[in-house]
Amino acid sequence: MFTIGDFANLGRVSVRMLRHYDSIGLLRPATVDPRSGYRYYTAAQLGRLNRVIALKELGLTLGQVRAILDEAVDSTELRGMLRLRRAQLEAQMAADVARLAGVEARLRMIETEGRMSSQDVVIKEISPIRVAALSAVAGSYDGADIAPALTPLYPELFRRLEAAGIRPAGPALAWYDPADDGEAVIVHAGVGIDVDAADPEVTVVELPAITAATTVHHGSMLTADQSIQVLARWIEENGWRADGFARELYLDYCPDEPEKGVTELQLPVRRA
């Protein structure tokens, strides 16, 4: 048997916490000295204590933890629950990192306002193009929402093309459509192909011809707002109007080193 202090040290919790667990019936001591009131615990009770801590880490209340433990959750079930929570936390961390990068990019853009580069803007007639495509929904057009939705589509798209024996006929590209709720955005990952795909795993889309104001963006797409701002200024000064989301043509696609990427932004326009 262990005193409450020793048991707290073994379980890496506080004595106060053990007393609280006792008071709510979550983890009773194995025995209590009737004269001194001292609590004593056994080594076997560390298993229940570990489960309590693990379930708390899942975000459950102590009442929910007690209900689950009283139903005798086994180790396999608990491991599954913890793995799910780990995946959720990892996804949340990745999203937070992307949002932080987006905030930093916005700050850099604000800091350079008034001294934006005079990068070239060219009006182009973009021909229709046949592409193999995959789509997903992003919460908004913000880069922190776009990247997690769009980036995983490309490996899967190229996997499907390889399985179907179809070779890309040009660089990868992305385009966007508004979703029904007005805030979310449908993201499309595509790559040009020059054959008809008969494989049901490969979706083929015919992108229409557009007139586009274009510029070449160097670096991560998280900083693309700087180039979009250049396009917007040029459009306003030259009698054009924007006509939808910009297409992104990845001239040099660098998923592992996005800061080395080279992307042509193609913003559909029409005469004002």
**Cα–Cα distance measured from residue 222 to residue 141, given in angstroms and rounded to the nearest whole number:** 11
The alpha carbon of 257 is separated from its chain's Cα centroid by a whole number of angstroms, namely 17
84-142 residue pLDDT tens: 778 877 877 877 776 676 666 556 655 655 554 546 899 999 999 999 999 999 988 87
One DSSP character per residue, the chain reads -EEHHHHHHHHT--HHHHHHHHHTTSS--SEE-TTT--EEE-TTHHHHHHHHHHHHHTT--HHHHHHHHHTT--HHHHHHHHHHHHHHHHHHHHHHHHHHHHHHHHHHHHHHTTS------EEEEEPPEEEEEEEEEESSSSHHHHHHHHTTHHHHHHHHHHHHT----S-EEEEEEE-TTSS-EEEEEEEE-SS----TT-EEEEEPPEEEEEEEEES-GGGHHHHHHHHHHHHHHTTEEE-SPPEEEEEE--SSSGGG-EEEEEEEEEE-
Which pLDDT does position 159 carry in this prediction?
93
What's the confidence (pLDDT) of residue 61?
A: 83
Domains of the chain with CATH codes: 2-73 (1.10.1660.10), 122-271 (3.20.80.10)
Residue ranges, the chain, pLDDT below 50: 116, 118
pLDDT attached to residue 90:
82
**Residue found under tokens 């399985």:** 163
